[in-house]
Amino acid sequence: DAGITQSPRHKVTETGTPVTLRCHQTENHRYMYWYRQDPGHGLRLIHYSYGVKDTDKGEVSDGYSVSRSKTEDFLLTLESATSSQTSVYFCAISESTSVYEQYFGPGTRLTVT
């Protein structure tokens, strides 16, 4: 199994508070991704990174920001959480030479009340 961890695994927070989710990998893969999973929508890409300090937006990036200061860590921040951001968040990684094969972390269940 690819070495990907996410923290926290579960979080309940109130509307308007900032939240940061962490993805950590031990594989030294270049590409990292954040997805959210919602019923009826499958997984949708929020942001991705193609190297340290190199990030770009996905299809549902509004309300989210990311940072990658080290190869192994990719942070997802909700600046001011809203109830519509209640979801399960997955991090994924891939090697640069086989970018189409992505490995997923265990997920973080976030509830915004």
Partner 1 sequence: GNSVTQMEGPVTLSEEAFLTINCTYTATGYPSLFWYVQYPGEGLQLLLKATKADDKGSNKGFEATYRKETTSFHLEKGSVQVSDSAVYFCALMGNQGGKLIFGQGTELSVKP
Q: Rule CB under 8 A: is residue 54 a binding residue for partner 1?
A: no
Contact 85, 17 (CB under 8 A): no
Contact 45, 58 (CB under 8 A): yes
- Which of 19, 21, 48, 55 touches partner 1 (CB under 8 A)? 48
- Which of 11, 58, 86, 95 touches partner 1 (CB under 8 A)? 58
Q: Rule CB under 8 A: is residue 97 a binding residue for partner 1?
A: no
User: C-beta of 22: minimal distance to partner 1 in Å?
Assistant: 15
Instruction: Report CA-CA distances (Å) from 7 to 22, 27, 105.
Output: 5, 17, 10
Q: Which of 99, 15, 1, 31 is nearest to 23 (CA)?
A: 31
- Round to whole Å and give the CA distance between 84 and 82: 5
User: C-beta of 14: minimal distance to partner 1 in Å?
Assistant: 26
Q: Rule CB under 8 A: is residue 102 a binding residue for partner 1?
A: yes
Nearer to partner 1, 73 or 103 (CB): 103
User: C-beta of 87: minimal distance to partner 1 in Å?
Assistant: 14
User: C-beta of 108: minimal distance to partner 1 in Å?
Assistant: 10
Question: How many Cβ atoms sit within 10 Å of the Cβ of residue 16?
Answer: 10
